[in-house]
Amino acid sequence: MRSAIDVVIATDAGPLFNSKALPLWSERILVALPEDHQLATKKSIYWTDLRNDHLLANLQ
């Protein structure tokens, strides 16, 4: 094991590593939140809005 990172998903467009970066997607995504979540009433949510929340991703 080389302790290498296989994938990084970053919310910032700034350079992270000395490597190539590719955009994952350009479409909007859906976020499911509990009704009492502080972001539940917003019409648009940005990645940075979710920085303090746990994220579950289904990558099929």
So what's the pLDDT on residue 52?
86
Report angle CA 59, 54, 6 to the nearest 5 degrees.
Answer: 45
pLDDT digits (tens, 9 = 90+) for 11-55: 665 665 666 777 777 777 788 889 999 999 999 888 889 888 887
11 in Cβ contact with 51 (< 8 Å)? yes
